[in-house]
Structure 1
Amino acid sequence: MTAPVTRQITLVRRPTGIPVPEDFALVEVPRPVPGPGEILVRMRVGSCDPAIRGFLDDRPSYLPPVALGAPINGMSLGEVVESNNADWPVGTLLRTFAVWSEYYVVGADALGIERVEQAPGVPLQHYMGALGPVGLTAWVGLFEIGKAKAGDTVLVSAAAGATGSTVVQLAKAAGCRVIGMAGGAAKAQIVRDLGADVAIDYRAEPDLSAAIHKAAPDGIDVYFDNVGGETLDAVLPLMRLHGRIAVCGMIAQYNDADNPHGNRNLWQLVVNRLTMRGFITYDHPEVLGEAQAMLDRLFAEGKLKPLENVRDGLEKLPQAFIELMSGKTTGKTLVLI
């Protein structure tokens, strides 16, 4: 009898700049077997996230780098198909940090592991987007780190992306005035359609600082930063006294980590007594229940519209990731397996 196998996406070489297809390989390996207390999961939805780019470089990050020849790490939504843990019975849907593999084994202590309760009629992929890690990240950054409240002016970079598009909607639902930045006229229109009071096409602005100041002449209370680099430099002098900056990501330097932008305006942290803090969503487990409840409620009320681009098949994960890192996508990039 032939032993069962699984397909994986592995790292063949470390990317230089934007990843290319030759950096990845689709391989077939023996299907893993769960040990005591472990569970075997079949991936149902794979997630492409900018943070994965940092794991592909051989340098320290908040998680270890992917080894050459090893499967790519990333968030996954899957279904338990074999279980040695009574708390995770067969048929359970879950999210966790795993690998790009049709089948994988995890323990109950896996990073970010949590059950998924799929509501009737709600597409499963939403639970990897605005109703899942994307929405939780947006909520934690906006409310737990940024302390956004009704009446605040909130600026969001990469506002047509997965997290940014969700932040725009959450901030509007909370009664904030929202300014979203995106690259290109089409993406700026998407940001407007999501409810932003002002959408700035940064590619069409010769002076980004002037454009932001025009949109917020009285300053910014909360900046949700997905970009870093020159954009962060432009925003810092425009923050209001005691403003808050939630640093979610710095996609401007992910493809060129050896040459990071040197910020020149950090003195503004002192001038305006700003709070600037990076965060990882799952460092805040005490608020995730509240966050999930708000996401589910707003979705049910039609006030949260998941923005996604979806592909089919494990083999599509590398190309989907490449397009994400090339700035060609809008919303959350997902692959159905």
Structure 2
Amino acid sequence: MPAVEDFRLVETGLPDIAEGELLVRMRVGSVDPAIRGFLDDRPSYIEPVAIDAPIKGMSLGEVIASRNPDYPEGTLVRAFATWSDHYVLSADSWGIEKVLPQPGTDLHHYMGTLGPVGLTAWVGLFTIGEAKPGETVLVSAAAGATGSTVGQIAKAKGCRVIGLVGSAEKAQVIRDLGFDAAIDYRATPDIAAEIAKAAPEGVDVFFDNVGGETLEAVLPLMRLHGRVAVCGMIGQYNDADHPFGVKTLWQLVVNRIKMQGFITFDHPEVLAQAQAELDAWVAEGKLRPLANLRDGFETLPQAFIDLMSGRTIGKTLVRI
């Protein structure tokens, strides 16, 4: 588990920018479980963060100097960047996109429900999970940023939704969001039995953010031709040297289950549709953003520690 002493704040001068680059001032920093995986020296979809190097994560910022005519000063951009109050981007930086906030909408929502969180939920649920009206959707880490969004947009599409959470407080949160059932895995000795009660005919789509023992328990409860969208494995991140061995993978064959990991930006062809639907659901009141907000650049480490300790509800964001 990360600790405060694992981090240090370093002050440097502002970097110069080359032709085609832009200098960005961070406005909202995203604190995500995936960052924990970037801190281990092992292969991932992002190159590991070296010792003494800045941590990397999604960020929303304002262009304050530009040598790229497509990104003039004042442009708001979202991109994968460093945990720095200022950073340099280019037009080919990973995940870079312009942000055009709607009047009356807080900027931080474009790093949450109306940004990477919402897009991840949409892609995982509908592109990977192929969820359809009337189906039963199960979500792990359901009170978290992505999980709480998945549950709400599944309901908006006419699905029945069950959420797995780690406390009675979180169970009440997702019930208030409209989930049909909430299971506190810490309060039951047999999570599989509780899921079976909530989904007596089985689970059509499992949106998994946890992995490990939870995944092992769910696979035998999947329906024929069920789908598992693997978004993350937060249950494994703090002990990557001792991964849990899932013993029920044979169920993939028995019930012809499709299980697939995904990265949102691998599916650019659906992001415009996803964004339009997310915007509409928020406007209609069908999608309520959940945010755990901190203020000040120096709060990033503690915000990350709290997230990885399971003490947060909704999307953890730091406003600068």
TM-score bracket for this pair, using the shorter chain length? over 0.9
Alignment partner of 1:288 is 2:271: yes
Letter of the aligned partner of 1:231 in structure 2? T
SS of 1:320's equivalent in the other structure is: helix
Query: Which residue in 1 is equivalent to 2:306?
Result: 323
What is the TM-score of this pair, normalised by structure 2?
0.99
Query: Which residue in 1 is equivalent to 2:230?
Result: 247
Deviation at 1:175, TM superposition (A): 0.1
Deviation at 1:36, TM superposition (A): 0.7
Query: Which residue in 2 is equivalent to 1:259?
Result: 242
SS of 2:149's equivalent in the other structure is: helix
SS of 2:226's equivalent in the other structure is: strand
Deviation at 1:53, TM superposition (A): 0.2
Moved more, 28-37 or 209-218: 28-37
Correspondence 1:135-284 to 2 at 5 A: 135-284=118-267
Report the Cα distance in structure 2 between the residues aligned to 1:213 and 1:202, rounded to whole angstroms. Answer: 13
Q: Aligned Cα RMSD in Å?
A: 0.5
Correspondence 1:44-59 to 2 at 5 A: 44-59=27-42
Query: Which residue in 1 is equivalent to 2:53?
Result: 70
Report the Cα distance in structure 2 between the residues aligned to 1:300 and 1:39, rounded to whole angstroms. Answer: 33
1:36 pairs, out of 19, 26, 41, with 19
Query: Which residue in 2 is equivalent to 1:61?
Result: 44
Report the Cα distance in structure 2 between the residues aligned to 1:303 and 1:182, rounded to whole angstroms. Answer: 21
Deviation at 1:59, TM superposition (A): 1.3
Letter of the aligned partner of 2:193 in structure 1? A
Letter of the aligned partner of 2:265 in structure 1? Y
Report the Cα distance in structure 2 between the residues aligned to 1:153 and 1:270, rounded to whole angstroms. Answer: 20
Letter of the aligned partner of 2:35 in structure 1? I
Alignment partner of 1:134 is 2:117: yes
Deviation at 1:202, TM superposition (A): 0.7
Report the Cα distance in structure 2 between the residues aligned to 1:32 and 1:263, rounded to whole angstroms. Answer: 47
Deviation at 1:39, TM superposition (A): 0.5
Deviation at 1:120, TM superposition (A): 0.6
Question: What are structure 1's unaligned runs of at least 5 residues?
Answer: 1-17
Report the Cα distance in structure 1 between the residues aligned to 2:122 and 2:287, rounded to whole angstroms. Answer: 12
Query: Which residue in 2 is equivalent to 1:301?
Result: 284
Alignment partner of 1:116 is 2:103: no
Letter of the aligned partner of 1:219 in structure 2? G
Report the Cα distance in structure 2 between the residues aligned to 1:173 and 1:101, rounded to whole angstroms. Answer: 37
Report the Cα distance in structure 2 between the residues aligned to 1:317 and 1:197, rounded to whole angstroms. Answer: 34
Deviation at 1:33, TM superposition (A): 1.4
Cα offsets for 1:177-203 (capped at 9, x unmatched): 000010010000001011100000111
Report the Cα distance in structure 1 between the residues aligned to 2:16 and 2:319, rounded to whole angstroms. Answer: 23
The 4+ residue runs of structure 1 with deviation greater than 3 A are none
Question: What are structure 2's unaligned runs of at least 5 residues?
Answer: none
Deviation at 1:50, TM superposition (A): 0.2
SS of 2:72's equivalent in the other structure is: coil
Report the Cα distance in structure 1 between the residues aligned to 2:205 and 2:41, rounded to whole angstroms. Answer: 33
SS of 1:241's equivalent in the other structure is: strand
